Structure 1
Amino acid sequence: MIDEKRLYQMISLARFENKNRDKALRISRTYQNDYIAMSLLGNFVLTTVAYILALVLFAMYNMNFLLANLNDLNFRPMLAVVIIVYLIVLGVFSVISYTRAKLRYVRAQARMAEYQRQLRRLYKMYKDEEQLDTIRKNWGRKNRDE
């Protein structure tokens, strides 16, 4: 006979697995430092590409000015400003990325802890039923022996 509590528990676990298959289950398989490092590495690549694209767009927008004053421009201070602004942008986005990755990891761990508690509860339900079946079988043997 099907136990309703156990059935509801299995449905709850299946819903969690379907809902969090890509997120919490994947995140929980990695260490926190590795997950944050991968997030920061992705942030570095995306920020660098976005900054280069922004510089190219800015240069294209101001192409007339750049070509007209090409001989008069002092490139060292301009390069220093570009690098300093890049480092500031990278720093800001790195802090945001670090915070976001840390929060995601902590939330995923909390969801996985709840998932583990539900799994243990289901396991206990199976064990209790198994013990009850063993007791019933033993009790039936005692009655037949008497």
Structure 2
Amino acid sequence: MINEERVRELYHVAKYDMTEGSKNSQMGHFYRSDYIWKELIKSFFTGTLSFVIMIILTGIYFSKRIIKFFSSFDLEHISIIMVIMYGIFMIIYFLVTYVLYYHRYTQGRRQLKELYEHVKRANKLYEDEE
């Protein structure tokens, strides 16, 4: 005889594995701080690459103005401005990354707890049947 309650619990487990399982698997292996630090380190590299690409594309777009500007070229002034812009960009990028992955981790852990509850109920139903 098929136990409908057990099938319902196993359906929830299978549905989770098909939709959210691969995304939330890391949340079960890391503490929140470790998970967020890992993502912040990855964000450092992606943010730096993004900043460089934005500077290159902006330079291409304003190439005529840049060529005219080279007559009064002050490398020290430009480098200070670029470092300040990079710092501001990375601070904003890190803040967005932190908030985003903090929220994702919190949701993922909540979903993992729900999954474990369904697994516990299914195991209990198996044990009760035996």
Aligned residue number for residue 137 of structure 1: none
Give CA deviations for 1:38-70 in whole Å, capped at 9, x if unaligned. 211221111111111111122223333333342
2:27/2:105 contact within 8 Å kept? yes
Question: Structure 2 stretches of 5 or more lacking a match?
Answer: none
Q: Of the two structures, which has the highest relative contact order with CA contacts closer than 8 Å and spacing of 6 or more? A: 2
* Whole-Å separation in 2 of the counterparts to 1:59 and 1:86: 15
Report the CA distance between 1:125 and its aligned residue.
0.9
Aligned residue number for residue 105 of structure 1: 105
Give CA deviations for 1:96-125 in whole Å, capped at 9, x if unaligned. 100111110011000011111111111111
1:28/1:105 contact within 8 Å kept? no
Question: Structure 1 stretches of 5 or more lacking a match?
Answer: 131-146
% identity of equivalent residues: 22
Aligned residue number for residue 26 of structure 1: 26
Report the CA distance between 1:25 and its aligned residue.
2.3
Over the aligned positions, Cα root-mean-square deviation in angstroms equals 1.5
Higher radius of gyration, 1 or 2? 1
Per the normalisation by structure 2, the TM-score is 0.90
Per the normalisation by structure 1, the TM-score is 0.81
Report the CA distance between 1:71 and its aligned residue.
4.2
2:43/2:97 contact within 8 Å kept? yes
Which 4+ runs in 1 deviate beyond 4 A? none
